[in-house]
C-alpha cells in the first residue's frame, strides 16, 4: 500500500512540477511529461520499479483517447473519411516499412529482420500526436484529420501485423525463455477455426455498435435520473473498460472498439457528459504513459553509443517524414497542413514497443536488438514535441493566410451554447435554429431531454454549471452563451466563470428579478434579460390599448417606458454592492430617491413621458410665418 | 358602386386636428373599407400578403396623410415599399393594380400661396407628390388630383372634413367626374367635380 502511494506521489509530483512549466513555455504538455519521466528515472531505478508494466497499464489512456475522438466524429464523417483512412493509412504503413526495410537490406541485414523492423518503425505514436493535436486545436484542420486517419489505420493494422510477424521467424533461431509475450491471457477465439473466429469477431463488433445504439440511452437515462455524479462516471468507465475487454477477448484492438463505440455515441445527448467524465482519466493515464516513456530511456546505453543511436533516430524520423510528405502531396494537402502531417507523424510509437517484444518472443528479432530499437523509438518520441514547435513557430507562420481562413470554418461549429432548455432557453434555441444557427443545448433534466429528443432537438444531458461540461460543449469556440437555467445562484456562478475564463464569449443571462439583475451584472454579464419583463410590458401595452389609446401611441409609450426603466436599472446596478443590503447602501438609496422625485403620476419614471411627448410636433402658425418672412426676405435681397 | 379602400396614416393622432376631423366625418360610412395604418401596424410589421389581397379586392384607393417634410409619414412609405412589389404592382407580371384609381388626401401646414414658384415653399405641391403620381403610372393606375387642405394649422377643418365625406361618398357611388378630377391640379372642398345632384 505505501509502495503504491509513494509511486503515485512521485509521478504526481513530477507531472505537477514539469507540465505547467512546459506549457507556459509553449512546449506542450507531452514534452513536460517526458522530461518529468526522465527526471524520475533514477529514483524509479533505485526503487526497482517495473516501468514497462506501468507503461502497459497507462496505455489504456490511448484507448480512452480514441473513445473521446470517436465521440467527436459522427458516423457520417467517418464514412466520408474512408478513402483517406485506407489509402493514406495503408500507403503510409506500406511505404514506410518498405523504405526502412530496403535500406536495412542494403546494409546487409537479413530480409526478415529488416521487414519486421520496418513494420515496427512504421507505427507512429497515437498518444503523443493526438494529445498534441488536440491540445493545440489542430485536430479539426485538414492536416489533423489526415494524421488522425493514418493513426486509426495503424491501430487497426497492428492486428494483422501481429499475425504476420511470426511468419518472419528465422528458421532454427532460438533463445532461452521464449514464450508468447503478447498473446498471453484470455482469448475467446484462440481455439476456434478461422471462420468461427471471424464470426465471433464480427459478432463482437456488432455487439458494440448495437449496444451503443440501443442500450446506452435507456441505461444512461436511468443513471441520470439518480442524479449521482459518481455513478454516472462509474457507468461511463464501465462502458469503456467493458468494450476494451470484449475487444481483447476476440483479439481486436481495444482502441478500435472504443473508437467505434464513441462514433456510435457521437449523436447521443449524453455525449458531452461522457466526454467530460472520461476526459480526466484519459489525461492522467496519458500523462503517466508519457512519463514512463521518459523514464524508460536507458541512459547507459545511450552514452555508450551516443552518435550511432542519435544518427539512427534522425534517420528514422527523416525516412518517415519523407514518405509522409510525398503522401501529403499525392493526397493534395494544402499549405502548412502538409507539413503538420509530415512532421507530426514522423516518430515511431508505443505500438512499436509492443511489436518489438512480440517479435523477439517469436524469434524474429535477435534478443540484443530489442533494447536499442526501443531506445530509438523512445528518442523519436522525445523529439516529436520539438517537431511540433518547429511547425508552429517556423512553418505555419510562413503559410499564415490559408491557416486563418481555415480557422474561420472551425469556429462555425459551435456558435451558441444554451444552458437550460426550459420555457426560456427553449424559445431562444428555437429562434436561433429557425435562423439557421447551430446551437448546443445543455440541460440537466433527463425527462425534459427525452421529450426534446423526440422533437428532434440537438440537446445534451449535463449540469451546465460545471466548467468541464462547458468545456466539452465547446465554450472555447463558442461566440455566445445563453444562461437560461432555473437556479439563480448557479446562473451567477456560470456567468462569473465564463467572463473570467472565456472573455471572448458574449453572455446573455436570464434574470429572475431586479436583485438577480444586479448580481449578474456584478458577475460581468452585460446582456441581462429579465425573464418576465418583456411580457409584462406587452401586457401594459395591451392595457393602454384597452383603455382607448391609439395602438401606435401605446407602442411608443411602452417603448419609452422600457427605455427609462432599463436606464434606471442600469444606474442602480452601478451602485449596487453585493456586500451591503440595498437599504443600507447610501449610494443606492440616494439613486432611488432621485428617481422617485420625478415619479409623480403622469410622469412616471422621470423623462419617460416627456421624451414621448417629443415627436411630430407640428409647427405653430408663428413658426410658419417666420419661415415665410425669412425665405422671402432672402429671395428679395438676392 | 365602386369598391373603395381608404388608408389614413397619422403617427400622432392625439395632436392631430385636420386629419382627425376628416376621419370623424367618414367614420361609419357604409360600403367603404377604412383603415388606420398606424393602428394596424404599430410595430411596422406590415403583412404584405394581406395588404395585396386588400388592394386586389378594391377599385379605388385613397391615401390620406399630413404632409411631413414634403412627403408622406414613414409608415406610408414603408407600406408602399413592401406592398407594391415587383411582379405585383410593376415589372414582369406586375399589372395587378392596372385600371384602379389612386387618390391622395393631403393636409399641409404651409398656406396655398406658399406652394409655387413665387411662394416660400418654392415648388408646386404637385411637384412634391410626383413620386406617387409616377408610382401610379408605373402600376398602370389612374392618378386623380389630390384632395388638399392648405394651411391646416390655421384653418378650421370642418369644411374640409365635410368635403372629404362628400368626396368619399361620390367615389363610392361613382359620381365623381373622373376626367375633371384627373385634369385638375388640386381638389378642395369647394372645387369637387361632382356629377348629378350636388
Ligand atoms: C414632422 C413634420 C413635418 C412637417 N413638414 C411639413 C412640410 O414639409 N410642409 C408643410 O406644408 N407642412 C409640414 N408640416 C405640417 C403638417 O403638414 C401639419 O401639421 C399637418 O398637415 C396638420 O394635420 P393634423 O392636424 O392632422 O396633424 C410638418 C409637420 C410635422 C410634424
Where exactly are the structural domains of chain A?
2-398, 416-531, 560-638
A179 has pLDDT over 50: no
| CA quadruple B110, B111, B115, B117: dihedral sign | negative
Contact A328, A346 (CB under 8 A): no
**3-state SS record for A177-227:** CCCCCCCCCCCCCCCCCHHHHHHHHHHHHHHHHHHHHHHHHHHHHHHHHHC
pLDDT at A193: 67
- Count of A–B CB contacts within 8 Å? 46
With CA atoms as reference, report the closest residue to B101 among B131, B69, B146.
B146
Contact A620, B153 (CB under 8 A): yes
With CA atoms as reference, report the closest residue to A35 among A269, A242, A291, A368.
A291
pLDDT tens per residue across span B57-72: 999 999 999 999 999 9
Q: How confident is the model at residue A260 (pLDDT cuts 50, 70, 90)?
A: confident
Question: Can you read off the three cell numbers belonging to residue A621?
Answer: 402658425
SS3 at position A443: strand
pLDDT at A414: 57
Percent of chain A scoring above 70 in pLDDT: 91
CB < 8 Å to B14, chain A: 550, 553
Chain B residues 38-57 with a CB less than 8 Å from chain A: 38-40, 42-43
- Put residue B115 in one of left, alpha, beta given phi > 0 → left and psi -120 to 50 → alpha: beta
In this structure, which long-range contacts are made by residues A521-528, counting pairs with CB atoms below 8 Å and at least 24 apart in sequence? A521/A573, A521/A576, A522/A573, A522/A576, A522/A578, A523/A492, A523/A495, A523/A496, A523/A499, A524/A495, A524/A496, A524/A499, A524/A500, A525/A483, A525/A495, A525/A499
Q: Can you tell me which atom of ligand 1 is nearest the CA of B149? A: 21
Nearest CA in chain B to A545: B39
Q: Is B35 on the interface with A (CB under 8 A)?
A: no
B109 has pLDDT over 50: yes
CB < 8 Å to A638, chain B: none
Nearest CA in chain A to B111: A624
CB < 8 Å to B110, chain A: 624
Ligand 1 interacting residues, C-beta cut-off 6 A:
A 616-618; B 10, 16-19, 66-70, 107-110, 152-153
* Topology, domain B4-183: Rossmann fold (3.40.50)
Residue tagged 348629378 (cell numbers): B196
Q: Which of the two residues, A612 and A129, has the higher pLDDT score? A: A129
Give me Rg for the CA atoms of chain B.
Answer: 16
pLDDT at A233: 87
Residues of A with CB under 8 A from a CB of B: 550-555, 615-621, 624, 627-628, 631-632
Question: Can you read off the three cell numbers belonging to residue A565?
Answer: 426603466
Q: Which of B14, B68, B120 sits opposite A553 (nearest CB)?
A: B14
Mean pLDDT of chain B: 95
A185 has pLDDT over 90: no
Q: How confident is the model at residue B113 (pLDDT cuts 50, 70, 90)?
A: very high
A401 has pLDDT over 70: no
Which residues make beta-bridge pairs with A529? A510
Contact B43 A555 (CB under 8 A): yes
Q: Which of B38, B43, B154 sits opposite A621 (nearest CB)?
A: B154
Contact A308, A315 (CB under 8 A): no
SS3 at position A283: helix
A546, A618, A630, A638: best mutation site toward chain B, by most B Cβ within 10 Å? Answer: A618
Nearest CA in chain A to B154: A621
A168 has pLDDT over 80: yes
pLDDT at A174: 55
pLDDT tens per residue across span B134-143: 999 999 999 9
Q: Which of A554, A555, A619 sits opposite B153 (nearest CB)?
A: A619
Which residues make beta-bridge pairs with B63? B7, B104
Q: Which of A552, A618, A627 sits opposite B38 (nearest CB)?
A: A552
Distance to chain A for B140, nearest Cα, Å: 33
Q: Which of the two residues, A76 and A14, has the higher pLDDT score? A: A14
Ligand 1 pocket, mutate which of B17, B19, B66, B77 (most atoms under 8 A from CB):
B66
A294, A301, A538 from A375: Cα distances, Å: 10, 9, 74
Mean pLDDT of chain A: 84
Average confidence (pLDDT) over A617-637: 83
Q: Whose CA is nearest to atom 20 of ligand 1?
A: B66
A542 has pLDDT over 90: yes
CB < 8 Å to A554, chain B: 42
Contact A624 B109 (CB under 8 A): yes
Q: Which of the two residues, A350 and A194, has the higher pLDDT score? A: A350
Average confidence (pLDDT) over A214-230: 83
CB < 8 Å to A616, chain B: 11-12, 15, 68, 73
SS3 at position B106: strand
With CA atoms as reference, report the closest residue to A79 among A232, A348, A268, A266.
A266
Q: Is B65 on the interface with A (CB under 8 A)?
A: no
Is A416-531 assigned to CATH 3.40.50.720? Answer: yes
Of A284-298, A379-393, A553-567, B79-93, highest mean pLDDT:
B79-93
- Put residue A172 in one of left, alpha, beta given phi > 0 → left and psi -120 to 50 → alpha: left
Contact A414, A351 (CB under 8 A): no
Q: Can you tell me which atom of ligand 1 is nearest the CA of B66? A: 21
Q: Which residues contact B100 (CB under 8 A, 6 or more apart)?
A: B55, B58, B59, B60, B61, B141, B142
B88 has pLDDT over 70: yes
Q: How confident is the model at residue A598 (pLDDT cuts 50, 70, 90)?
A: low
A618 DSSP 8-state letter: P
Ligand 1 pocket, mutate which of B14, B23, B67 (most atoms under 8 A from CB):
B67
Q: How confident is the model at residue A175 (pLDDT cuts 50, 70, 90)?
A: low
Where exactly are the structural domains of chain B?
4-183
Q: Is B7 on the interface with A (CB under 8 A)?
A: no
pLDDT tens per residue across span A403-455: 433 332 323 345 899 999 888 999 999 899 888 888 888 887 777 777 777 77
Nearest CA in chain B to A635: B120
Contact A628 B153 (CB under 8 A): no
A181 has pLDDT over 60: no
A197 has pLDDT over 80: no
A505 has pLDDT over 80: yes
Q: Which of the two residues, A551 and A633, has the higher pLDDT score? A: A551
Of A83-92, A253-262, B88-97, highest mean pLDDT:
B88-97
Query: Which range (A145-149, A320-324, A456-460) has the least confidence?
Result: A456-460
Average confidence (pLDDT) over A385-392: 88
pLDDT at A50: 86
Distance to chain A for B70, nearest Cα, Å: 14
Query: Which range (A62-76, A477-491, A599-613, B45-59) has the least confidence?
Result: A599-613
Q: Whose CA is nearest to atom 24 of ligand 1?
A: B16
Q: Which of A554, A555, A627 sits opposite B120 (nearest CB)?
A: A627
Q: How confident is the model at residue A61 (pLDDT cuts 50, 70, 90)?
A: confident
pLDDT at A183: 43
Is A2-398 assigned to CATH 1.20.1530.20? Answer: yes
A236, A364, A494, A546 from A446: Cα distances, Å: 17, 55, 21, 43
Q: How confident is the model at residue A400 (pLDDT cuts 50, 70, 90)?
A: low
A552, A612, B29, B73 from B10: Cα distances, Å: 9, 16, 20, 7
Q: How far is the CA of A22 from the centre of ligand 1 (A)?
A: 74
pLDDT at B6: 98
CB < 8 Å to B109, chain A: 618-619, 624
CB < 8 Å to A618, chain B: 15, 109, 153
Question: Can you read off the three cell numbers belonging to residue A16?
Answer: 505537477
Q: Which of B43, B109, B114 sits opposite A618 (nearest CB)?
A: B109
Chain B residues 155-194 with a CB less than 8 Å from chain A: none
Amino acid at each position: 500500500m505505501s509502495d503504491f502511494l509513494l509511486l503515485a506521489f512521485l509521478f504526481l509530483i513530477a507531472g505537477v512540477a514539469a507540465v505547467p512549466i512546459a506549457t507556459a513555455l509553449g512546449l506542450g504538455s507531452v514534452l513536460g511529461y517526458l522530461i518529468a519521466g526522465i527526471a524520475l528515472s533514477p529514483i524509479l531505478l533505485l526503487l526497482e520499479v517495473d516501468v514497462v508494466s506501468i507503461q502497459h497499464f497507462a496505455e489504456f489512456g490511448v484507448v480512452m483517447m480514441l473513445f473521446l475522438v470517436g465521440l467527436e466524429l459522427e458516423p457520417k464523417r467517418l464514412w466520408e473519411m474512408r478513402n483517406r483512412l485506407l489509402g493514406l493509412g495503408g500507403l503510409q504503413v506500406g511505404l514506410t516499412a518498405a523504405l526502412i526495410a530496403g535500406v536495412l537490406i542494403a546494409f546487409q541485414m537479413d530480409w526478415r529482420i529488416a521487414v519486421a523492423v520496418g513494420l515496427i518503425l512504421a507505427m507512429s505514436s497515437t498518444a503523443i500526436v493526438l494529445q498534441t493535436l488536440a491540445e493545440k486545436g489542430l485536430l479539426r484542420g485538414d492536416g489533423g484529420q489526415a494524421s488522425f486517419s493514418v493513426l486509426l489505420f495503424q491501430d487497426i493494422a497492428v492486428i494483422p501485423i501481429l499475425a504476420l510477424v511470426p511468419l518472419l521467424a528465422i528458421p532454427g533461431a532460438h533463445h532461452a525463455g521464449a514464450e508468447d509475450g503478447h498473446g498471453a491471457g484470455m482469448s475467446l477465439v484462440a481455439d476456434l477455426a478461422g471462420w468461427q473466429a471471424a464470426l465471433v469477431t464480427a459478432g463482437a463488433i456488432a455487439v458494440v455498435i448495437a449496444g451503443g445504439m440501443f442500450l446506452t440511452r435507456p441505461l444512461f437515462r436511468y443513471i441520470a435520473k439518480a442524479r449521482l455524479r459518481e455513478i454516472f462516471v462509474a457507468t461511463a468507465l464501465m462502458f469503456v473498460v467493458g468494450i476494451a475487454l470484449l475487444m481483447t477477448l476476440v483479439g481486436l484492438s481495444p482502441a478500435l472498439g472504443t473508437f467505434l463505440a464513441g462514433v456510435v455515441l457521437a449523436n447521443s445527448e449524453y455525449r458531452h457528459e461522457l466526454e467530460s467524465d472520461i476526459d480526466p482519466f484519459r489525461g492522467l493515464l496519458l500523462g503517466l504513459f508519457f512519463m514512463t516513456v521518459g523514464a524508460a530511456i536507458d541512459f547507459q546505453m545511450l552514452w555508450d553509443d551516443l552518435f550511432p543511436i542519435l544518427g539512427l533516430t534522425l534517420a528514422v524520423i527523416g525516412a518517415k517524414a519523407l514518405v509522409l510528405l510525398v503522401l501529403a502531396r499525392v493526397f493534395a494537402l494544402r499549405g502548412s497542413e502538409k507539413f503538420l502531417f509530415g512532421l507530426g507523424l514522423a516518430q515511431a510509437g508505443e505500438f512499436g514497443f509492443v511489436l518489438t517484444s512480440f517479435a523477439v518472443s517469436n524469434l524474429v528479432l535477435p534478443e540484443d536488438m530489442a533494447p536499442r530499437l526501443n531506445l530509438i523509438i523512445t528518442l523519436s518520441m522525445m523529439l516529436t514535441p520539438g517537431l511540433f514547435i518547429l511547425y508552429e513557430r517556423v512553418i505555419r507562420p510562413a503559410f499564415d493566410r490559408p491557416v486563418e481562413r481555415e480557422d474561420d470554418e472551425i469556429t462555425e461549429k459551435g456558435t451558441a451554447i444554451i444552458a437550460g432548455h426550459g420555457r426560456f432557453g427553449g424559445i431562444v434555441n428555437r429562434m436561433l435554429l429557425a435562423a439557421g444557427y447551430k446551437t448546443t443545448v445543455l440541460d440537466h433534466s433527463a425527462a425534459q431531454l427525452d421529450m426534446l429528443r423526440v422533437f428532434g432537438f440537438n440537446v445534451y444531458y449535463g449540469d451546465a454549471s460545471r466548467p468541464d461540461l462547458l468545456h466539452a460543449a465547446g465554450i472555447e469556440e463558442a461566440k455566445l452563451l445563453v444562461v437560461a437555467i432555473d437556479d439563480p445562484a448557479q446562473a451567477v456562478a456560470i456567468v462569473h466563470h465564463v467572463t473570467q475564463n472565456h472573455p471572448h464569449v458574449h453572455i446573455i443571462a436570464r434574470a429572475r428579478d431586479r436583485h438577480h439583475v444586479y448580481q449578474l451584472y456584478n458577475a460581468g454579464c452585460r446582456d441581462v434579460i429579465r425573464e418576465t419583463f418583456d411580457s409584462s410590458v406587452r401586457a401594459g401595452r395591451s392595457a393602454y390599448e384597452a383603455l382607448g389609446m391609439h395602438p401606435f401611441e401605446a407602442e411608443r409609450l411602452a417603448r419609452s417606458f422600457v427605455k427609462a426603466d432599463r436606464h434606471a436599472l442600469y444606474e442602480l446596478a452601478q451602485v449596487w454592492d453585493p456586500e451591503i443590503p440595498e437599504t443600507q447602501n447610501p449610494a443606492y438609496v440616494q439613486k432611488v430617491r432621485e428617481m422617485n422625485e420625478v415619479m409623480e403620476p403622469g410622469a412616471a419614471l422621470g423623462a419617460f413621458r416627456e421624451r414621448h411627448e417629443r415627436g411630430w410636433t407640428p409647427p405653430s402658425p408663428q413658426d410658419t410665418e417666420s419661415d415665410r418672412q425669412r425665405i422671402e426676405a432672402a429671395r428679395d435681397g438676392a | 358602386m365602386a369598391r373603395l379602400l381608404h388608408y389614413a396614416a397619422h403617427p400622432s393622432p392625439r395632436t392631430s386636428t385636420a386629419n382627425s376631423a376628416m376621419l370623424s366625418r367618414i367614420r361609419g360610412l357604409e360600403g367603404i373599407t377604412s383603415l388606420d395604418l398606424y393602428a394596424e401596424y404599430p410595430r411596422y410589421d406590415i403583412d404584405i400578403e394581406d395588404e395585396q389581397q386588400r388592394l386586389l379586392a378594391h377599385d379605388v384607393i385613397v391615401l390620406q396623410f399630413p404632409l411631413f417634410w414634403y412627403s408622406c409619414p414613414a409608415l406610408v412609405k414603408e407600406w408602399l415599399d413592401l406592398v407594391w412589389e415587383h411582379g405585383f404592382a410593376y415589372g414582369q407580371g406586375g399589372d395587378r393594380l392596372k385600371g384602379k384609381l389612386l387618390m391622395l388626401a393631403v393636409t399641409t401646414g404651409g398656406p396655398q400661396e406658399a406652394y409655387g414658384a413665387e411662394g416660400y415653399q418654392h415648388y408646386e405641391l404637385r411637384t412634391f407628390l410626383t413620386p406617387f403620381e409616377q408610382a401610379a403610372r408605373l402600376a398602370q393606375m389612374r392618378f386623380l388630383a389630390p384632395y388638399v387642405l392648405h394651411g391646416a394649422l390655421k384653418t378650421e377643418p370642418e369644411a374640409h372634413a365635410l368635403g372629404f365625406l362628400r368626396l368619399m361618398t361620390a367615389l363610392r357611388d361613382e359620381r365623381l367626374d373622373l376626367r375633371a378630377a384627373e385634369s385638375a391640379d388640386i381638389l378642395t372642398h369647394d372645387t369637387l367635380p361632382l356629377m348629378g345632384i350636388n
